[in-house]
Amino acid sequence: MVAQSNLAIGSHVWVEDPEATWIDGEVEEVNNEDIKINCTSGRTVVVKASNVYPKDPEFPSCGVDDMTRLAYLHEPGVLQNLRCRYDINEIYTYTGNILIAVNPFRRLPHLYDNHMMEQYKGAAIGELSPHPFAIADAAYRLMINEGISQSILVSGESGAGKTESTKMLMRYLAYMGGKAAADGRRSVEQQVLESNPVLEAFGNAKTVRNNNSSRFGKFVEIQFNERGKISGAAIRTYLLERSRVCQVSDPERNYHCFYMLCAAPQEALLVDESFREFFHFKLL
């Protein structure tokens, strides 16, 4: 990110703020490397030109759904766009074929029902509003049309919503590649989706930011047959934050599975009371 140093009087700019992160304003005076700015908050500040970034005065109030269309693709411009979209309940935004998700910290079931999946079926990226289903559909179509394996990378900070996004991607792939279960048995896609809670019990823990934080990474491989139907699945790589098993900082907790074992009735455990006491000692 490179700041703009040749700003003229009257230019709209962004400047760093210790409380609000970024505040906008208008250049009032330029004196060599120092720039005097009248901020929209009513303050007047003098900062180095290297710490000032141009602002698009024609930026739409509702933001843009693809940030490659921004006039300035710098940190304050990106954050302004994400905030504007978040304020109108648009939690997904594209940057080309990359999807950025902002955790709404509430349930939005209408965004992920079967009707929504049907809408994104066969739609190109950018044709409809940004959504994980669009990313999953694009990967599925490329796999079918070109016969080449595809990968979807989900990454982000703790509490950003990686676990939920992964579930949505897997749900859509199961929707596209699912088939009816035979003889009353669970279908492959059902088994894939039902494996998530088990993995989360062994790999999720309470942290300072999130009560259900994934402290593990996994590479899930979903296999499809020549007709595009799910034929199998495998977890090829599983990376666990092993230090949490023996050392937990207050007020964080260990992995959920240990507390489930401690809370289970004695008849459900094939261990004696010493096992329970050991884990109570380790966990509490």
pLDDT-derived band at 36, boundaries 50, 70, 90: very high
Instruction: Tell me whether residue 59 is in a domain.
Output: no
pLDDT mean across residues, the chain: 87
pTM of the model: 0.81
Q: Are 32 and 135 within one domain?
A: no
| Rg of the chain on CA atoms, in Å | 25
Instruction: Give 27-63 as a DSSP string.
Output: EEEEETTEEEEEETTS-EEEEEGGGEEE--TT--TT-
Residue range(s) defining the domain that contains residue 275: 254-284
* pLDDT for residue 270: 56
Q: What is the mean pLDDT of residues 51-64?
A: 94
Q: How far is CA 170 from the centre of its chain?
A: 14
Q: Could you tell me if residue 69 is inside a domain?
A: no
Q: Answer yes or no: is 100 within a domain.
A: yes
One domain for residues 279 and 190 = no
The answer to whether residues 222 and 132 belong to one domain is yes
157 marked ligand binding residue: yes
pLDDT band at 236 (very low <50, low <70, confident <90, very high): confident
Percent of the chain with pLDDT over 90: 54
Residue 156, annotated as binding a ligand: yes
158 is in an annotated binding site: yes
**Residue at 63 is within a domain:** no
- 159 labeled part of a ligand binding site: yes
- 100 strand-pairing partners: 93
Q: Is residue 145 part of a domain?
A: yes
Q: Please indicate if the annotation marks 42 as binding a ligand.
A: no
Whether residue 119 is found in the same domain as residue 160:
yes
Alpha helices by DSSP H, the chain: 75-87, 114-120, 132-146, 162-177, 188-203, 243-246, 256-263, 273-283
User: What confidence tier does 182 reach under pLDDT thresholds 50, 70, 90?
Assistant: low
Check the annotation: does 217 bind a ligand: no
Comparing 196 with 222, the larger pLDDT belongs to 222
58-62, 76-80, 253-257, 273-277: range with lowest mean pLDDT: 273-277
11 is in an annotated binding site: no
* pLDDT tens track for 98-128: 999 998 988 888 999 999 999 999 999 999 9
Indicate the helix (H) or strand (E) that contains 100: strand 98-101
- 47 has a pLDDT exceeding 80: yes
The Cα 131–Cα 262 span in angstroms is: 39
139 and 214 share one domain: yes
To the question of whether residue 241 is assigned a binding role by annotation, the answer is no
